Amino acid sequence: MNGRKADAMALAAAIAALPTAERAEILVCPPFVHLVSVADALSGSAVQVGAQDCHPAPAGAHTGDVAAEMLFDIGCRYAIVGHSERRANHRESDVDVNAKIVAAWRAGLCAIACVGETLAERDAGTTLEIVGRQLAGSLPDGATAANLVVAYEPVWAIGTGRTPTTAQVAEVHAAIRAALVARFADGAAMRILYGGSVNDKNAAELMAVANVDGALVGGASLKPDAFAAIVAAAR
């Protein structure tokens, strides 16, 4: 929830001007109120557009919510679901996230499903248990590499400037990969993003970790130069 329209348009223009490589896919997920403007600005570029959330229902009396079909209609092709801030601020459960993924698929969107532990859970040594439970409950049957991306976001690292060690990231991403391979036919091909204070200084190191296929970028995405460096690190 950052930026006025002018800010969003300036960011879109800067991101659209970034050089891209075949193996660097760029997606931006602006606030709902800026989606149409940003989608129009990026039309014809290599940059794709997604939403930060969606509602499970295709229509109805859900004041303030946005259906996945509405998002697809204005040019979105992705929707983030289950972000830690949604889980915490809006008390979204794994069941809720599961329903939103089904809705995204119904509308033709690829879902980016977020999982991750709190600091208390990390300190208690239950990270893999928590992440495993979130994966089991949040991901519906029928997930493929084309309709699902998983993002690991340690809650305690988001916006704090703290990041796990590369060994910790590798451990969790390996566990996520194993869970995906065990359950889905093309689990080995599904993309797993790392999200948690990714910036221009740590992106290259984080994305060199095994099973890290990209980044879910927060605050650094508001800074064109920093975001450009992260895109470069993903090549």
Helix axes 127-138, 94-107, angle to 10 degrees: 40
| Active-site entry in 34, 55, 83, 173 | 83
- The reply to whether 34 belongs to the active site is no
**Please, what is the angle between helix 5-16 and helix 35-42, to 10°?**
30
Choosing from 69, 92, 117, 153, the catalytic residue is 153
Active-site residue flag, 83: yes
3-class DSSP string for the chain: CCCCHHHHHHHHHHHHCCCCCCCCCCEECCCHHHHHHHHHHHCCCCCEEEECCCECCCCCCCCCCCEHHHHHHCCCCEEEECCHHHHHHCCCCHHHHHHHHHHHHHHCCEEEEEECCCHHHHHCCCHHHHHHHHHHHHCCCCCCCCCEEEEECCHHHCCCCCCCCHHHHHHHHHHHHHHHHHHCCCHHHCEEEECCCCCCCCHHHHHCCCCCCEECCCHHHHCHHHHHHHHHHCC
Structure tokens at 130: 């928590």
Short-list 116, 52, 119, CA closest to 84: 116
* Residues with catalytic roles: 83, 153
